[in-house]
Each structure stands twice: as structure tokens, then as C-alpha cells.
Amino acid sequence: MELARFDADTFLRDYWQKHPLLIRNPWAAWTNPLEPDELAGLACEDGNEARLVRRTPKQWKAEHGPFDESRFGKLGKHPWTLLVQAVDHHVPEVAALIAPFRFVPNWRIDDVMVSYASDGGGVGPHFDQYDVFLIQGLGQRRWQIGSTCDAATELLAHDDLRLLAEFTPTEEWVLEPGDILYVPPGVAHNGVAVGDDCMTYSIGFRAPSRSELIAHWCDHVLAGLDEDDRYGDLDLTAQANPGEIGPQALDRLQAMIAEKLGDQQAFARWFGTYTSARKYPDVDWTPEEPITVEELREQLARDGTLCRNPASRFSFVRSGLLFVDGESFDYGPDITALAESICAQDRLTVTPDLLQSDAAMELLATLFNQGSVAFDQPD
């Protein structure tokens, strides 16, 4: 799918992380990529993250999947919503919804959550810590936008849902199939289905917190430190007051920390592996049989196309580091184009010169055997 009437540069300048934006059906031709029954089927499978949210006159209720198929016939008259995370990992047509938003870097993209709601269904007024594009797939949904929230904003007491205690809408729209609503981080919003068969596709973007980055980066640095690497002061001289921690000692102590924590290349390698780790690492995507470099070369000589696993994450740093599914790969100038292309495109056509490159074939065989790429399958 393509956005035919959308200016990414203007959007990034005027709206990204600044203001909500309603985008009335900008697609060249909108087609809903998933049927409601297919979504219900995914919610019944082990390993998929699914929730049912129901609103009764007295309270909000949330259930976690996987669900038995019979559950959907017992939902009763109260409004309900089914939500399934990472549907793009399983349905190529849903994964294709991400492509028009690739003006945002790969490492920021989380997944596509899909929801189906009965008339009046929703998850209540809330705010998120990330950017989200809400694409209306089927039916209608009324979206209300409120004020900007933060950690001090009062929430209702609930074990599973982060619902706002107070919500006053400032803007309101009814979205039709193909319409998109962009909501920046922290902006309160509330979506309610208008009629049955309401499907919404939520493309979310990750934003690591400062505390998360510091904690995980420091854990990584600590794991590589030697206990024998200690403070030293060979040039120590007597000082007037032994109780003083002198400025020279403070400078030296702080430098011991800064030297390790401030290593930019080491941070780049760590962050690339950290942020490219799969959302659900326990899911095994590896092929039934590993492939050798020569087997891969022969197969690609017949049909030189590989496709990326929709569940995989690809990114690179121009210093020569490729990151795929939590692994880092050093690459040289001879396969720079390959590394950059595989990060930018869902499908990769392997050219004759790459077929002759041992470095390229070894990299692709490794990616194939870890389940990050596979042979392209006909539609």
C-alpha cells in the first residue's frame, strides 16, 4: 500500500512529537488487510499476545489470551474490544502497512497492534509514551483527543489498564476506513467503535526512557569490567587535611567512569544489538534445516530474491556495523551496499556480483540460518 496524498517532510516538521493530526484517507487505494475472523484466530494461538477489554456499567474488565474459540460467542451485550499485538509478524499484508511510515527509522518501529470492537467498544481514555498512527481498517471509530499528560496525571486504580481518572476531550472526529489519526506521546485519547465490525491498526514507535538506557548500558559495561581495574595514585603527595577528597582524586575517579561509559563506538554496538532484539525472542524462526553457503549460492543463482522475516529487526551504523535480531555483524566496503539495502527493503534481490562475494554469501547464510531472511514465497 502507498500513501498517495501525504507529505512526510511537512508532517515531520509540523506534527511529529508536537501535535495530533487527522489524515483523511491518503492511500492510493485502501484495502482492509485482515478479516475479523483471522484476528480472532490469532488471538487463540499460543505465543500471541492478546487481550479482551470489556466495559460493564460498573467497571472495566481485561482478560489475557490465548483464548478458546468459544469465548467469542459468550461476550454478551456489553461493549468489548479484542486486541492482538504484533500481527505484522504473522500476516504479510499487515506488515505492509509499515512501509509507508519508513520515514521514521527502523529502530523506532515497534509493531502493528490490531483491534476489533463491537459497537461502543474501546479501551478507555488513556495516554501512551510513544508515537502512534491509528489506521481505521473497517467500520467507524470516534476518536477524542485531550490534553497532554505526564507521570503526575491521575489514573484509575486498575491492575491491567492505565485509564485516566479525568478526561476532557478538546477535539473529536469519526474515522472512516483508510483514515489515519497520528497521536504524539503523552496526548490523551479515547477511541470508541461506532457500530459493529470496527477494526483499527495501531502502528506504534518505541522510545526508550533515559533510565532504561542508563540501566541496560551500565549493565553491559559492568559485565565486561575486570576486578583488577582499580583506582591508582602513584603520584600521591601529602595533603593538609586527610579528610578532604581532593579535586585531583575526583577528576581521576570520574574519568575512570567516563572512559568506559563514554565510549561512543562501544555504545553504538551495544545499542544496535539491544534495540534490534526481537520483540518475542522465545519464538523460534530458524529453518528446519540449516543451509550452507554453497547451497544458498546455488538457490539464489536460480531465484535471486530473499525476503526479510517481518518479526526481524534490521539496522546499521555507517562505521561498518549491521544489527539483525540482537546480533551485530562487522562489514567491509565490499558489502556496504548489501548491508544498507537489506535494512531499507523488505525484499532483497541478490545481484551476480554479490553471488560471487564470499563475505556477502556468508552473511546471508548466517541471517538465513537464524531465521531473519528466507527465500521469497509467491503470493
The per-residue pLDDT for 74 is 86
The CATH number linked to 331 is 3.40.366.30
Write out pLDDT tens, residues 306-319. 999 999 999 999 99
Assess if residue 3 is contained within a domain.
no
The per-residue pLDDT for 159 is 85
Assess if residue 273 is contained within a domain.
no
Q: Are residues 219 and 326 in the same domain?
A: no
Assess if residue 87 is contained within a domain.
yes
Q: Are residues 362 and 219 in the same domain?
A: no
pLDDT exceeds cutoff 90 at 278: yes
pLDDT exceeds cutoff 90 at 291: yes
Assess if residue 267 is contained within a domain.
no
The per-residue pLDDT for 378 is 54
Q: Are residues 152 and 217 in the same domain?
A: no
Q: Are residues 126 and 159 in the same domain?
A: yes
Write out pLDDT tens, residues 27-47. 999 999 999 999 999 999 999
Alpha helices in the chain (DSSP H): 8-14, 36-43, 92-95, 210-223, 247-261, 264-276, 293-302, 336-344, 352-355, 358-369
pLDDT exceeds cutoff 60 at 379: no
Q: Are residues 15 and 117 in the same domain?
A: yes
Of 109-118, 169-178, 281-290, 363-372, least confident by mean pLDDT is 281-290
Q: Is 53 helix (H, G, I), strand (E, B) or coil?
A: strand
Domains in the chain, number? 3
Could you tell me the three cell numbers for 330?
562487522
Residue 169's domain comprises 8-205
Beta strands (DSSP E) in the chain are 21-23, 50-55, 60-64, 80-84, 109-117, 132-148, 171-175, 180-183, 187-205, 305-308, 314-317, 321-324, 327-330, 347-349, 373-375
Mean of the per-residue pLDDT values for the chain? Answer: 94
Q: Are residues 253 and 157 in the same domain?
A: no
The CATH number linked to 82 is 2.60.120.650
The per-residue pLDDT for 260 is 93
The per-residue pLDDT for 216 is 97
pTM of the model: 0.91
Q: Are residues 129 and 177 in the same domain?
A: yes
pLDDT exceeds cutoff 90 at 57: no
Assess if residue 275 is contained within a domain.
no
Assess if residue 183 is contained within a domain.
yes
Q: Are residues 217 and 328 in the same domain?
A: no
Q: Compute the average pLDDT of residues 171-190.
A: 98
Q: Which residue has the cell 482478560?
A: 63
Q: Are residues 149 and 26 in the same domain?
A: yes
Q: Which residue has the cell 484509575?
A: 156
Write out pLDDT tens, residues 332-371. 999 999 999 999 999 999 999 999 999 999 999 999 999 9
pLDDT exceeds cutoff 90 at 64: yes
The 8 Å CB, 24+ separation contacts for 24-32 are 24/179, 25/176, 25/177, 25/178, 25/179, 26/178, 26/180, 27/1, 27/2, 27/3, 27/178, 28/1, 28/2, 28/3, 28/4, 29/1, 30/1, 30/177, 30/178, 31/1, 32/137, 32/138, 32/177, 32/199
The answer to whether residues 111 and 132 touch, using CB atoms and an 8 Å cutoff, is no
Q: Are residues 162 and 194 in the same domain?
A: yes
Assess if residue 34 is contained within a domain.
yes
Write out pLDDT tens, residues 181-192. 999 999 999 999
Q: Are residues 258 and 318 in the same domain?
A: no
pLDDT exceeds cutoff 80 at 282: yes
The per-residue pLDDT for 34 is 97
The per-residue pLDDT for 304 is 82
Q: Say if residue 66 is preceded by a cis peptide, omega within 30 of 0.
A: yes
Q: Are residues 197 and 216 in the same domain?
A: no
Assess if residue 123 is contained within a domain.
yes
